[in-house]
Structure 1
Amino acid sequence: MNNGSSDNTALSAAGPEHTTSAGPATAAAPYPGEGGASTDSVPAAPTAAATLSSRAALPASASDDALANPRYARFVTDLLGVMAYGELSGFERLSSDARFSPSLADRASLGRLAVQEFEHFELVGAFLADLGVTVEDAMSPFQASIDAFHERTRPGDWYESLMKAYVIDAFSGDFYRSLADTLDPRTRNLIGTIDSGEGAAHLQRRLKEALADDPRLASRLALWGRRLVGEALTQAQRVGIEREYLAGLLFADEADHTQHTTALFSQLTRNHSRRMSALGLTA
C-alpha cells in the first residue's frame, strides 16, 4: 500500500542520510502513513478488531448509505486523507531509495513498488472525489505530522530503508484493516483493494536474503525495527485521537475508548512481533 506510506518529505531527494538508528526507541505508547500487509510466511493473526470484539461489543459494519451521514463521512474523509498522504509519501520514499539499491534488480523492484504506491494514491483520490472532497484538502491536516514522523525515522542506509518500508507498510495495513471491519461496504472494499500484500511479501523476502548474506545486520535491524514500531504506535494514536476517527469509527461507546485503544495497539504490537520473528529478529 501497503503499506503504506506514507506518503511530504519522507526522505530527502538526496536519498538516505546517515542517522543513529540505534538510538533509544520512542516509547511504544498507544502512524499510519504507508499501506501494507502481512505475508504468507507470517502465521495468520487475528485482526485487531476481531480481538477487540471478543472483549467488548463493537458496532456493526456501517450500512451502504452511511456515507450520507455528515459525521460518518467526515470520519471516513479523515481516514482516507491519512491513507492518501501515506501512499503519496511511500511513492516518494521508494522512488528516492531505489537509486541507492545494491543491484539493478533491487532498483527495479523498488521502482515497481513505488508505482503501486502511486496507483493506490490515485484510487483513494478518486474515491474522495466521489465524496465531493479533493484529495489535497483531505491530506492537508496530516501533512505536518506525517512529515515529522519521516524526519524522525530517516534511515541510515539502504537496508534500514528496506526495513522501514516493511515495518511501516505492514503496520499501516494492520491498522486500516482493523478499522475496515466497521466501515461501509464501499470504503471497506477500497481498503481491501489497496491491501494486496504484494509489496510486504517482496520486502520480507529481500530482507531475509540480506540477513542471510550478512548476519551482522540482525542486531542493527532488530533495534531499528523496534524504534520504527514505537514511533508508528505513537503517531497512530496521536493522529487518530486528534482527528477523532478512532473514536468515531471503531468504538460504539466513547466511555470504552481507552480500553479499546489499548487492545487495538496491543494487537498491532503482537503482529509486528510475529513479522520480526519471521525474519529471525527479536522484536
Structure 2
Amino acid sequence: MATWFFKRKRPVGRTLRLRSRGDYGDVRRVDFEELAPDVDTFLGQAAYLQLGYFETLSDLIAATPELAQKESLSLAAGTALLKHREIVAVIRDRGADPLELMLPFREPLDAFRRATHGARPLESMLSVHLTAGMLDDFYIALSASYAETGREVAVILRAHDDRSALVKIITDAIAADEQWRALLSMWGRRLVGDTLIIARAALRPTFLDAADEKRVEPTFADVMAAHARRMAAMGLEA
C-alpha cells in the first residue's frame, strides 16, 4: 500500500523529537519531520478521509429504517462533513485546489473503506467510530510537522469529535441482544490491521527501518491505547 503515497527523499540532518502533550491532548505527539509527507499530501489525505466517512454514514442513513437511528446517524455524518469542509477551507487558504490534492487518494482510501465496511450496518457504524478515531489521533500526531497549518488541522479534528450517536446505537443493540458483543468485539479487532496500514502508508518512507520504528512506536502505542479505551467504553474486548 505504500505505493499509494508520494515518495520523497529524507532531509539530511534532522531528527525526530518528542513534543510535549500541550495543545495536542493526551496522545504523545511525535515531530515527524523526517517521516512526514509534504503538507499537500497530508491535507489531501485528511480531507478525503473525512469525505469518505460522510459518504459511508450517508449510505447507512438511507439503509436504516428507524427514524431515531437516522437522526443519530445524521449527526455523525454532519460531523464528518464539517471536518471535511474545514480542512478544505485550510487547503483553499493556502491557494491550493482541494480536488487536485484529494484525487491521488480517492482510489486507495475508497479501497480502505470497502475493506472496513461491515456485512451488517452495526459493523459499519463500529468501523466509522473506531477507524476515524484511530486515524484522527494519528493525523493529530502528524500535524505537529506542519507549523500553523498543522495546528489548524489538529484543532479541526479535535473540535469535531462527537461520534457518541454511533456509540449509543451500538451499545443499545448490545444491551438488546448480547450476541452482538462477541461479534462486534471480533470485528473491532479486525479493523486494527487495515487502519494501521493506512497510517503507516501515510509516512514518507516506503519502508521503516528499525530506528524509524523505534521513533514512531510511542505514537502508535498511544493510538492503540486510545482504541482500547473506545472498545472498553462500549463494553467490547479490545
**Residues 129, 135 of structure 1: 8 Å contact kept:** yes
- Give how far 1:118 is off: 2.0
Picking from 103, 117, 122, the partner of 1:159 is 122
Counterpart in the other structure of 1:266: 221
Q: Classify 1:273/1:185 alpha carbon distance in 2 versus 1 (closer, same or farther; 3 Å).
A: same
**Residues 85, 142 of structure 1: 8 Å contact kept:** yes
- AA at the equivalent of 2:228: S
Tell me: higher relative CO, structure 1 or 2? Use CA pairs within 8 A at least 6 residues apart. Answer: 1
Picking from 27, 49, 61, the partner of 1:47 is 27
What is the TM-score normalised by the length of structure 2? 0.79
> How do 1:127-206 residues align onto structure 2 when only pairs under 5 Å count?
127-206=90-169
- AA at the equivalent of 1:180: S
Picking from 42, 45, 55, the partner of 1:79 is 42
- AA at the equivalent of 1:126: A
Structure 2 gap segments, 5+ residues each? 1-24
Partner of 1:99: helix, strand, or coil? Answer: helix
Picking from 199, 212, 225, the partner of 1:257 is 212
Partner of 2:178: helix, strand, or coil? Answer: coil
Q: Classify 1:280/1:223 alpha carbon distance in 2 versus 1 (closer, same or farther; 3 Å).
A: same
Instruction: Supply the distance in 2 between the matched residues of 1:193 and 1:235 (Cα, whole angstroms).
Output: 20
- AA at the equivalent of 2:220: F
Number of equivalences? 214
Partner of 2:203: helix, strand, or coil? Answer: helix
- Give how far 1:196 is off: 2.5
Structure 1 gap segments, 5+ residues each? 1-44, 53-57, 63-70, 248-253
**Residues 136, 157 of structure 2: 8 Å contact kept:** no
Residues 1:96 and 2:59 are matched in the alignment = yes
Instruction: Supply the distance in 1 between the matched residues of 2:86 and 2:160 (Cα, whole angstroms).
Output: 16
Q: CA RMSD in A?
A: 2.8
Instruction: Supply the distance in 2 between the matched residues of 1:190 and 1:173 (Cα, whole angstroms).
Output: 10
